[in-house]
Structure 1
Amino acid sequence: MAIACVSGVLAASRLPALPPVAVLVALLLVGAGAWGRTQDWRRPAGALLVGLALFGLHAAWTLSRQLPPELERGDFELSGRVVQLPEHEARRTRFLLRVDRDDAVAPALHGRLLRLSWYDDRAAPRDDRFGIEAGSRWRFTVRLRAPRGLRNPGHSDSERQMLAARIAATGYVRDGERFERLHAGAGIDGWRERTAARIDREVARPSARFVRALALGDTRTIGDADWDTLRATGLTHLVAISGFHVGLVAGFAALVFAGLWWLAPALGRRMPRPQAAAVGALLGAAGYAAVAGFALPTVRTVLMVAVVVLARLWRRPVGVADALALAAIALLLVDPLAALTAGFWLSFAGVAWLVWCLPRVGDQPLVGGFLAAQWVATLGLLPLTAALFGQASLAGPLANLVAIPWWSLVVVPLALLGTGLDALQAGWGGWAWRLAASAFDLSWPLFEWLAGGRAALWWLPEARWYAAPLALLGALWLLLPRGVPGKALALLLWLPLLWPDRHLPRPGEFDLVMLDVGQGTALLVRTARHAVLYDAGPAVPEGFDAGERVVVPSLHALGVRRLAATVISHGDADHAGGFDSLRRRFPEGPVFAAPDAAIDGAAPCLAGTAWEADGVAFRVLHPDPHFPSMGNESSCVLRIESAHGAALLAGDVGEVVERMLVHDHPGALRSDAVLIAHHGSGSSSDPALIEATRPQVALVSAGHGNRFGHPQKAVMDRWEQAGAQPAVTARDGAVTVRLRRDGVRIEARRRDHPRLWDAQRRIDHVR
């Protein structure tokens, strides 16, 4: 029944659009009737329908509560409570706000969850003032828009994540408007934040950030370099509070309650000791899950403990597999949108693999059983890890052999002991936290060394949807008993996941992949065996770095392992901002940049620079060596040409430079695809250039709702009248143009990979 229910939820999440609510209600009633009243094949069919209908109804309700597109960019004065832990950065504080239900000023947002940013140093708590604290209440004016994210190759989908978190709108606090702090931090989240601050004071060493994570599930101070190390060693599942840690607390609480019943036998007259120990385990697990902010792995473990406790109270036997299945059903019945998160699949799949192999593992010695369990978890979870994150940690099995026993049996108990003592009396837990930090410091250098190896992390190209199920079937085949024949053939089932078809062009052909980086530019040119990147996307001091967040993950998803060359058209932050992050991950290959771009180690991008790769010619048309440094007007203009098509990438040049190009290259600018200059602003796209290129595709890289109004309608009308098909990242997401022997093909991410939570489709529907 659990498998059928999960399958229904998964099927619903893959729908391009939701059925009408009436249809979903009918499916729910039919499915519930079949599930509860039959005992044949109709019962799992009913569970499947229940999962599908529940997911659809929850998704429809959540989408209906999101900010309507017609109210976007509006200002709202509202009051609410800060939930979970705010993230304080150098020039920005990000937090979640639950709007008060009795707020008379913003009735359209009553009870909604908002994700906000405050670009003000006053938002960060200091010794001499209060800032945004967990559990505090505020009143201020915010500017909001509906949840929307970037759509690119790879596995990150912020719109899906916001749907799962039930976020109704995103926005920022309006600087200069009146704001008021109504109440100080309170509740469990306020206690978590105060405890995290005490850990920092008591430990006073860099490893305090990991003690906070293991004691409270607070990962805010773990930096990008730390996450890189954890990903490369496959240890991300151990950093925050995991289900295994909740199980340790539940077991300890059960021992405490059993000890109390042993010391006071009279208590057994009211409740037998086994039942009391079970209730204690549930209380301990629930309390620790609250300390962790009810993260999904902890909730899953609490549900499993609850199932076992209820079975013990009713004196009915329940195996581990039954408890896992009932926990999955319970979680999906309460929150089917949890299936949109990676944690749901990894949590339940990890336990399911171990449950399936427990009989064989349990018959072996302790060390042999641990190694067998590690092998099962590594092989069984590899397909999901590759499908969800596009990566596989080759150093993970070795790192986990050390980290699982050392962190879970030494570091975590000490961190938890410190938290428990500090909850009794502030300051009592300092010695335990310091011991936890010392124990952690003994192991961390080993993991940094493992992560530093070039083969530690294997990035995998994006695969088709059926690749993960086939690989899971292959893993199941490999883990069958030894006598099962044909295990070598199971490896073939892994090929679609580990070596997917990347649809690379043949010699003499090339592809253009314009990434969706917001208000900026990053475009990949792929030939048969080489990749050239034109611009690296924007980066702003407030924290968003498209190079790190978009360009690098997209290159990995496209199977790019090295760049043959990088061209930075000019030095503006929306084109060159992501270069530093890009260069850290892709250090190979020459870099060409505009002479005034101030890119360290870059060769000047000057007219006449040319090279060839796989039968495709690259040639810089502008600027020439004598052109003055003029910012946008000095942008590198790159022409790409092969026997099967040509493209022109124009940077941010204006109409004057465009007319110069037409004058200097008469009859030689004809192109099948053009990256429109300056994101489609009114200062570019001169009619003479449009007539000289007359492309089939006009590409525009611009952010949704950008303050410049790019691309301008008059500009796009000129290109369309010349016969060009427009492709705009703000509307289409990442766009791929394939210039092949059989013609030009256009692929748009939002159009070709539709999702029921797609914000752009709802905007188009309103229009």
Structure 2
Amino acid sequence: MPRATTTAIAFLLGVLAVQWLPRLPPGWSLALLAPVAALAGWRWPRLRPLALCLLGFAWATWRGGLAMDLRLPRELEGRDVLVTGRVDGLPLVRDDATRLALTVERAALDGRPLPLHGRIELSWYDRAPPVPPCSRWQLLLRLKRPRGLLDPGASDAERAALERRVAAVGYVREDPRNRSLGEPSACLDGLRDRIAAGIAARVRDPHDAALLRAFTVGDTRGLDRHDWAVARANGIPHLIAISGFHVGVAAMAGAGLVGLCYWLWPALALRVPRLPAQALSAVASAAGYGALAGFGLPTVRTLLMIAAVAGARCGRRHAGGAHSLALALLAMLLADPLAVLAAGFWLSFLGVAFLMLCLSARGRGLRGFLHELSAGQLVMTVALLPLGMWFFGEASLVGALSNLVAVPFVSFVIVPLALAGMALLGLGPPLAGPVLRGAGWLAHAQWWLLERMAQWPGAHWYLPEVRPWALVLALLGALWLFAPRGLPLRACGALLFLPLLWPPREALPDGAFRAWVLDVGQGLSAVVRTEHHALVYDAGAAYPSGFDLGEAVVAPALHALGIGRLDVLMVSHADNDHAGGAAAVAEAFPEAARYAGEPERMALPMQGCRAGQAWQWDGVRFRVLWPAAGTGQAKDNDRSCVLLVEGAGGRLLLTGDISGRVEPQVAAALGDGDGRALALLVPHHGSRTSSGAAFIAALRPSLALVSAGWRNRFGHPHPLVLRRYAQAGVPVLNTAEAGAIMLDAPADGPPRAAELRRMRERRYWRE
């Protein structure tokens, strides 16, 4: 193996080892480890791979510690902090709020300076003024540490916050001290914003303009949920927000332009050699376009590879693809070892590595190009399928064909035409309009085709949550399957995909059930599964910003738990924090029967819940206890569906938002349960108007589960309610602290609960 490749892999292994630690080692250990490793690698050449691994470990630990130290001190959570900072990136303006990132320059609490630095992600609600990129502001902020929802199949928001160096999240408070600190200074984000505005002003169709803005300057603010769903179904998110291939096209254009100059004026070669000049022009073009694109991971990877090749050309050396990729990997890890926490890092570097290892040239000219293009899409689709499942919980089986159509058309037609329009915005604005409108029309046609392909079978393919060992086996299988000719039994590589494609599924015996109270913030969603059936009770909230917990949490959790068919979707009542995500769940599982406590207030057709409704699945009985007949005029919360799940060994009571007014009737309808232990989903998130002492005494639950948001503004669960359960000797688990809660109700014993924050492997970045 070449030295550069060995060096890069050894350093990468050291960086990766840090990301599995539950806590970071102390600083003094790094001060000892790094010089010892460097000395050993210099003194004993055979130990260099190990020394590089240890150096990578020390480097990633130090950088990870610096990033964690940026986080808001816990004692400042919920306090009002006056911050001066600069807007970072492109602010997103929605109907409900403006979302922006602020790089902190100064911070103060009650006039005292605070050691707060780093990046803060904010929401400015209601009447937010225009917030240009790179502008400086003084704002009063209510902040908290980055803390994400933790559910089966969901992305790790706290890991993503660390990778982006987010110190805190929060919102802008109304205060007379909030003000702009002058005109924004010149910056790349400002240039990107002006180019995006120029495109939007010249392309009539807003959606076509949004696509062009994403293709050209990485501005995805105009894309909605449907657009991203189409992109995922076709396996092309990398094209929407600037792919490395686009940067390569920009580099080729730069090299080609210099080559044209040498062709027109051959005497230039007497003064400056052509190859170094083309190499430097390629780097400059790639860097310029990468800057406009916002320097995403695929962009940076391609830029580093181009720089490695250009450096070799300038030094009159040959740089192979593997050598360039290894240098790019090493440079990326040295610049930002936390990049390994991002999905884009692995999809980018492993994708290129698979192409280099598995493809060999088949002729030259058009035939060779077409072979590389078609075979490359097949390799990328199959080889990166395990990573797509690992990071996103889904993959696209039509991605190879979609990319075969989209990659050349977007990269060689739409993007160059849009770039030409961008250039004309500065050189000849009247000419920019027709060029950009033509590019918009082509983007429209391309997207029309992709929307049709997104409806094909296999466009959205889901599997249960991927285990690390299954991921490693599938990647090895892909490498074996696409290895060069000469390796024996290459077809057997497909067998290593079996643990990924058909994972073992734990069977539930007759009379047993398993429930998950999902972490949906200040809302509610629960999943109940028997051996062959599944039910969803409530689906979390949906917000005007477009964020939908039914789509972002509930549906992915069902896929991750291996639930391919949903039998019943029950919504306790029509409040947004319970019913907002129901439409997304119903769209993902249209075969489910639907019940609701307030069907007339629901956005989609549903049957009404009524006491007495009952059915049985796999030895587990389901009974609706409330609302009773004649409660149509009751308060909204008191019309909640109350569902009792009765297994052979234990029971679960799902209560919605009922209050103390109807708790006596619910307790009377429950009965004694033949001595079976009862797990109770605490009514109304632990509001003080619910969970009366008489209700707790009548039910005698063995366990109480609360679904509430972290540091929510309602103060749920109320301390008085927690005191009532404590006095009754009932343990309480809260999703705000525990993440999703799994309740296992075996057929031969009482229900047992487990917290996902304790079940999942502990990581140093997790709150």
Normalization by structure 1: what TM-score? 0.94
Q: Separation in 1 of the partners of 2:424 and 2:599?
A: 59
Q: Which residue of 2 aligns with 1:748?
A: 755
Q: Give the Cα separation in 2 of the matches to 1:362 and 1:508.
A: 64
Contact 1:622–1:634 (CA under 8 A) maintained in structure 2: yes
**How many residues are aligned here?**
752
- Alignment match, 1:613: 617
Moved more, 482-491 or 171-180: 482-491
1:148 paired with 2:147, answer: yes
Deviation for aligned residue 1:200: 0.8
- For residues 245 and 478 of structure 1, the distance between their equivalents in structure 2, rounded to whole angstroms, comes to 29
Q: Kindly state the Cα deviation for residue 745 of structure 1 after the two structures are TM-superposed.
A: 3.2
**Partner amino acid for 1:202?**
R
Q: Residue 128 of structure 1 corresponds to which residue in structure 2?
A: none
Q: Which consecutive residues of structure 2, in runs of 5 or more, have no partner in the other structure? A: 1-6
2-side partners of 1:504 and 1:136: how far apart? Answer: 57
Tell me the equivalent position of 1:700: 706
Q: Determine the structure 2 residue equivalent to 1:256.
A: 257
CA distance in 2, matches of 1:273, 1:37: 42
Q: 1:225-624 counterparts in 2 under 5 A?
A: 225-264=226-265, 267-268=268-269, 271-361=272-362, 365-595=368-598, 598-599=601-602, 600-624=604-628
Query: Mapping of 1:163-174 within 5 angstroms?
Result: 163-174=162-173
The answer as to whether partners of 1:81 and 1:98 remain within 8 angstroms in 2 is yes
Q: CA deviation at 1:262?
A: 4.8
Counterpart in 2 of 1:764?
A: none
Q: How far apart are the structure 2 equivalents of 1:673 and 1:751?
A: 20
* Alignment correspondent of 1:201: 201
Q: Within 2, Cα distance between the matches of 1:726 and 1:684?
A: 15
Mark the CA change 1:484 to 1:304 in structure 2 (over 3 Å): closer, same or farther: closer
Q: How big is the shift at 1:408?
A: 1.2
Distance in structure 2 (CA, Å) of the matches to 1:745 and 1:524: 16
Query: How does 1:120-199 map onto structure 2 within 5 Å?
Result: 120-123=126-129, 131-185=130-184, 186-199=186-199
2:125 aligned partner: 119
Match for residue 626 of structure 1?
630
Deviation digits for residues 510-555 of structure 1, max 9, x if unmatched?
Answer: 1110110001100000111111011111223344421122112222
Shift in alpha-carbon separation, 1:489–1:106, aligned structure 2, 3 A: farther
Distance 1:504 1:719 in 2: 34
Q: State the Cα RMSD in Å.
A: 2.2
Taking a change above 3 Å as real, the CA distance of residues 434 and 629 of structure 1, as seen in their structure-2 partners, is same
1:95 and 2:100 are equivalent in the alignment: yes
- Deviations 1:556-598 (CA, angstroms, capped at 9, x unpaired): 2222222100111112111112112222222222111114662
State the distance in 2 between where 1:25 and 1:636 align: 60
Deviation at 1:271, TM superposition (A): 3.6
Structure 1 residue 225: Cα displacement: 0.8
- Give the secondary structure class of the aligned counterpart of 1:365: helix
**Percent pairwise identity:** 46
Please state how far the C-alpha of 1:489 moved relative to its aligned partner. Answer: 3.6
Query: Partner of 2:56 in structure 1?
Result: 51
Does residue 1:14 correspond to 2:20, yes or no?
yes
Taking a change above 3 Å as real, the CA distance of residues 109 and 587 of structure 1, as seen in their structure-2 partners, is farther
SS in 1 for 2:325: helix
Please say if residues 617 and 642 of structure 1, whose CA atoms lie closer than 8 Å, have aligned partners that are also in contact: yes
Shift of 1:613: 1.2
Q: Distance in 2 between matches of 1:355 and 1:423?
A: 39
- For residues 685 and 83 of structure 1, what CA distance do their matches in structure 2 show? 46
For residue 82 of structure 2, the aligned residue among 44, 54, 77 is: 77
Which position in structure 1 is the counterpart of 2:4?
A: none
1:461–1:559 Cα contact (<8 Å) kept: yes
**Normalised TM-score (structure 2):** 0.94
Give the whole-Å Cα distance in 1 for the aligned partners of 2:551 and 2:581.
Answer: 7
Opposite residue 624 of structure 2, the aligned amino acid is V
Q: 1:672 aligns with which of 674, 678, 681?
A: 678
Q: Distance in 2 between matches of 1:664 and 1:357?
A: 66
Code of the residue aligned with 1:527 in structure 2: it is T
The 10-residue stretch of structure 1 (436-445 or 405-414) with the greater mean CA deviation from structure 2: 436-445
Distance in 2 (CA, whole Å) between partners of 1:706 and 1:694 is 28
Letter in 2 for 1:343: G
Partner of 2:32: 26
DSSP-derived class of the 1:228 partner:
helix
Counterpart AA for 1:749:
L
| Contact persistence 2:359–2:375 (CA under 8 A) | no
Verify the 8 A CA contact 2:256 2:278 in the aligned structure 1: yes
Contact 1:510–1:525 (CA under 8 A) maintained in structure 2: yes
Change (3 A) 1:636 1:116: same
SS at match of 1:656: coil
What is the distance in 2 between the residues matched to 1:488 and 1:313?
Answer: 43
Deviation of residue 623 (structure 1)? 1.3
Distance 1:99 1:730, change over 3 A: same
